[in-house]
Chain A
Amino acid sequence: MTWVNIIVQGALLGGFYALFAIGLSMSFGIMRLVNIAHGDLIVLSAYVALVATWYTGFDPFLSLVIVLPVMFGLGYLLQRGLLNQTLSGGLLPPLLVTFGISIIIQNTLLEVFGAQDYRLQEGAIETASLQTGGFYVGVYPLLVFAVAVACIAALQFLFYRTRLGRAFRAVSDDSDTAELMGIDNRKLYALAFAIAMIFTALAGVFFGIRTIFAPSSGPIRLILAFEAVIIGGLGSMWGTLIGGVVLGLAQAIGAALDPTWQTLAGHLAFLAILIVRPSGLFPRTRD
């Protein structure tokens, strides 16, 4: 029974990592953008939610009506003003520019909010749990998992059932030809990053409710998100969910053996999978 419990908890944790990873997976899949600032954008979203709750008295979930549009706009401007210029010159420019953004966000948050921890308070739901067949399942992790699945389903619908999604897939497959067919890549990329940022913002708020956060919390979220994306395979959204679950399971199993091994077990599982299958479990996009 304890092992069933471990696997359930690990899978639910995986939903959390998948939620972290959706925005990254999307910008990676469509623009091949290696966004080093992704973790810091998650943390920034949590701070935006924090400020929103301070000034409006909303609870964190309600603050999404402010956080999502703010991050959507920020994403559009970032891609339009900055990131679009990095996409034609190989690996280094996007990597370094997003590294720069990451350092700017971290240190600006540090100057504005200081180094102390904050948390978003959502109340009873944080600790509520359901009892099924002898073990407890937290309502909040379950909710996060459901949100991750819903986000991915929504994205799948967007990609495969709408005109916009067709354009996204076209620029992902061959951006030059897509441009010849009349797509304005720069606008489309900006829109893609803005949409990705909605998921990043969602992840940030759910993250801020679950654990404490500080200006330096970003990089480890980035690594976890990257691991989920890469384990799942580039460009595959359901793969990202499975990547998150694999990571969550590895951590849960590691933690069951020795609590201090949780994070390490996840990293080792990631490295092992990379060595065996460098392009991930379900690669869809060619690199």
Chain B
Amino acid sequence: METVRVDRATRASRIFAVFAALALATLIAMPWWGDAGNMRLVGEMAYYLALAQLWNLLAGYAGLVSVGQQAYVGLGGYILFYLTGVWDMNVYLALAIAGPFAGLIAIPVSFAVFRLRGAYFAVGTWVVSEVFALFASLIAVLGAGSGLSLTPAILREISPDRDTRDIILYLMSLAISVFVFAVVYLLLRSRHGLALTAIRDSERASASLGVNTFRTKFIIYIATAACTGLIGSLIFLQKLRISPEAGFSINDWTVVVIFMVVIGGIGTLEGPFIGMVVFIVLRELLADYGKYYLILLGVIAIAVMLKAPYGIWGWIIQRFDLQLFPVGRRLALGLTGGPTDSVAKI
């Protein structure tokens, strides 16, 4: 008699989970073994990874190719600076509000941009972010064109001691990255994840099979906006200054993030990791040569898009059928056998 079992994990993913947990523990312990410079770099990697995961969820799964996510990065930053600077709010409370507030603002925005399809949607989201930037540069209480700075009093609220503050900010970046990753991972493994994967593969076919594509996309758009806003508030808490140009920069917060996702592999959870590492390594290696790393990044992104549209990770999946963060379901036939030869992927 043959029994059929539904498997989610693979042997590789179980082994990898142990490594991932060890790596994460090592990073959490970094304040005890690393220096401030390394901590800053890893913190930056953490929030870039989170931004990449979110854009991947949006574009890779829900098919919402937004080039306007910088709207929510800047918005999150401005909310933090406004609440702490003008309202004297506690900085942690302000951080907690920044994300949900960005999500709230995304609701009316979605009514406008969801009228648009494909390329129109992309350009529409960009224009929305330009509108946000222009508003920020017109409003006097937001510092108009020159922006806002965090006062030392607000920083002392985190910790009076600079080293302790660096550690807290580092751990917060790490926590946000893990949080975003967990949200995306659990979402993709849930029923909604199945709907999202179906939309990724064919929006029309999934709609005809009963997936409520509009509602799914709407929820994803709002959730990514909220998470992006939260990351934005943390980024600018570390930068100490925000201006319309820096906050709503398409190149810093969207273009390089898109490149990371594309190079690593769009529509996979592993891809953004690889793309983020490629980006950081290129930037650090070419740190002495001005903007050449961006030129090289552009060249690599074009080459990947044309020669391996599913990115580095897509190529690995094709070659080795490897999944480190399994979100799909596999049928395993037979009583004893593990998920080895007779496996059908779903």
Interface residues of A (CB under 8 A from B): 34, 36, 82, 85-86, 89, 91-93, 95-97, 99-104, 106-108, 110-111, 219-220, 223, 226-227, 230, 260-261, 263-264, 267-268, 270-271, 274-275, 278, 287
Contact = CB atoms under 8 A, between A and B. Distances in A.
B251 interface: yes
Given A223-B126, A271-B131, A91 B295 contact: no
A238 to B, nearest CB: 20
A93 B308 CA distance: 11
Interface of B: 59, 65, 67, 111-112, 115-120, 122-124, 126-128, 130-131, 134-135, 138, 250-251, 255, 258-259, 262, 266, 290-292, 294-295, 297-299, 301-302, 305-306, 309
Given A101-B302, A108-B295, A274 B255 contact: no
Given A86-B306, A287-B120, 16 more contacts: A82-B302, A93-B306, A96-B258, A97-B305, A97-B306, A99-B259, A100-B301, A101-B302, A103-B259, A103-B297, A104-B299, A223-B123, A223-B126, A230-B120, A267-B131, A274-B115
A34 B298 contact: no
Given A264-B131, A264-B135, A271-B112, A96 B251 contact: no
B305 A100 contact: yes
Nearest to B291: A107
B306 A110 contact: no
B275 to A, nearest CB: 12
A103 B255 contact: yes
Contacts of B250: 219
A219 B250 CA distance: 9
Nearest to A263: B134
B127 A267 contact: yes
Nearest to B134: A264
B306 A104 contact: no
Given A86-B306, A263-B134, A287-B118, A92 B65 contact: yes
Contacts of A92: 59, 65, 266, 305, 309
Contacts of A101: 298, 302
B112 A103 contact: no
B65 A227 contact: no
Given A107-B292, A267-B127, A91 B118 contact: yes
Contact of B116 (A95, A111, A268, A274): A274
Contacts of A102: 298
Contacts of A260: 138
A100 B299 contact: yes
Contact of A267 (B65, B116, B120, B130): B130
Given A91-B65, A107-B291, A274 B309 contact: no
Contact of B123 (A99, A104, A226): A226
A79 B55 CA distance: 28
Nearest to A85: B306
B298 A104 contact: yes
A223 B127 contact: yes
